[in-house]
Amino acid sequence: MWRNIASNALTLFIVGLVVLAGVIAWGRSQYSSAGPLETAICLQVPAGGNMRGVSSDLAEQGAITSDTIFRVGADYSDKSSLLKAGSFLVPEQSSMAEIVDIITRGGASTCGTEVVFRIGVNATQVDVRELDPATNRFRDVAEFVPGPEGEEGDAVPEEYTTVRNQNDTRYRVLVAEGTTVWRVVESLKLADFIEGDLVEMPAEGMLAPDSYEVVAGSDVGALISRMEDAQAARLEESWRNRVDDLPFETKEDALIMASIIEKETGVAEERRQVASVFENRLKQGMRLQTDPTVIYGVTNGEGVLGRGLRQSELQRETPYNTYVINGMPPTPIANPGLAAIEAALDPAQTDYIFFVADGTGGHAFATTLAEHNANVALWRKIEAEKAAAETAE
């Protein structure tokens, strides 16, 4: 009898092991197989959250088939303690294993609300936008022009105040090509998510135009240092790849030339042609005769001139009046982008020594004064027709 009992017990034990193995295999399959999510979602993990709360949220949103399997899988892979706070994009049909990886791997949030602080040549704007998980595109929530308390600026929208109090909001500072150092520094004083004061003003031209992701409470000095390091690296790399026979001998002169190119044209395809004009002029001992340098001498890079240049300003001898001085001004006149730096160090091979606006946003180039005068006459005709049309309206 005892032998039968032992045999039956052993049989039941084996059956139990087989069943357990099957359950484990099924659980592993459920954990690693494609999930039921039909449309991507933005999963918010609060600070101090845990896997139980996250799994419950995922189950409610239809992203997983079992919150228990999700938690067991996270525990089994030793990732439960690695949960990160933030907003994370969970793509459609993500497996539980993939979701666990997304919310534990670390790094910046991948969806949710983003504040973009745009520093332009003439103005600064704050955009509040939110990622739509279904399309993976941002949609605008609010925008406003910041201003110091008591001075000109838009009223701060409620949407911005709300997201400023959320710890998973991301921040990005976007610096446009052609800004001056003064514009960047003064604009950053209006960014209420950045702290600290600058000890000294950066050198003109040495802040790389780019998009910089920052964390709320970041130090402004650290951000400026990132911009300086990025510009120095770009200049160094471009200088190493420069062509021969340039009309200047130092990286600093190349940066000055790049800043002039940046201010003279916003058409990407023209940068190397514009560079060729100025560098041909330098090689021939001609003056650069470019308005942006004169304007910088008048404004010192602080704000926008807001009017045309006066004859007295064009005739006055200043270090930046390239109608009067020979060679280049003593410093850059703006922060040039990488494309302008590369154009300065690898100009197009042309005989051009003149250019003027052509009415399309670009320029007409010429090798002789006669050709240039014809282009100027055409441009003045376009200006006159445009003025007449505006008057008629």
pLDDT, tens digit, for every residue of 7-59? 555 555 555 555 555 555 555 767 778 878 888 877 778 777 888 888 888 88
Summarize the confidence of residues 119-124 as an average pLDDT: 92
Q: Which amino acid is at 338?
A: L
Considering the chain, what percentage of its residues have pLDDT values greater than 90? 41
pLDDT tens, 346-393?
Answer: 999 999 999 888 878 889 889 999 999 888 888 888 878 777 777 776
User: Does residue 193 register a pLDDT over 60?
Assistant: yes
Residue by residue, what is the 3-state secondary structure of the chain? CHHHHHHHHHHHHHHHHHHHHHHHHHHHHHHHCCCCCCCCEEEEECCCCCHHHHHHHHHHCCCCCCHHHHHHHHHHCCCHHHCCCEEEEECCCCCHHHHHHHHHCCCCCCCCEEEEEEECCCCEEEEEEEEECCCCEEEEEEEECCCCCCCCCCCCCHHHHHHHCCCCCEEEEEECCCCCHHHHHHHHCCCCCEECCCCCCCCCCCCCCCEEEECCCEEHHHHHHHHHHHHHHHHHHHHHCCCCCCCCCCHHHHHHHHHHHHHHCCCHHHHHHHHHHHHHHHHCCCCCCCHHHHHHHHHCCCCCCCCCCCHHHHHCCCCCCCCCCCCCCCCCCCCCCHHHHHHHHCCCCCCCCEEEECCCCCEEEECCHHHHHHHHHHHHHHHHHHHHHHHHC
Can you give the pLDDT at residue 83?
80
- Gap between the Cα atoms of 182 and 201, Å rounded: 8
The pLDDT value recorded for residue 150 is: 39
Predicted pLDDT at 72? 80
Q: What confidence score (pLDDT) does residue 254 get?
A: 97
- 162 against 193, higher pLDDT: 193
Average pLDDT over residues 243-267: 94
Alpha-carbon gap, residue 130 to 87, rounded angstroms: 11
139-159: average pLDDT: 75
pLDDT beyond 70 at 5: no
Q: Is the pLDDT of residue 167 over 80?
A: no
Q: What is the mean pLDDT of the chain?
A: 85
What pLDDT score does 57 carry?
82
pLDDT tens for residues 293-333? 999 999 998 988 888 888 888 889 899 999 999 999 999 99
**Would the pTM count as exceeding 0.85?**
no
Domains and CATH numbers, the chain: 30-110 (3.30.1490.480), 113-234 (no CATH), 246-350 (no CATH), 353-393 (3.30.160.60)
| pLDDT score of 130 | 82
Give residue 317's pLDDT. 87
Query: Residue 152 pLDDT > 70, yes or no?
Result: no
Looking at residue 88, what is its pLDDT? 80
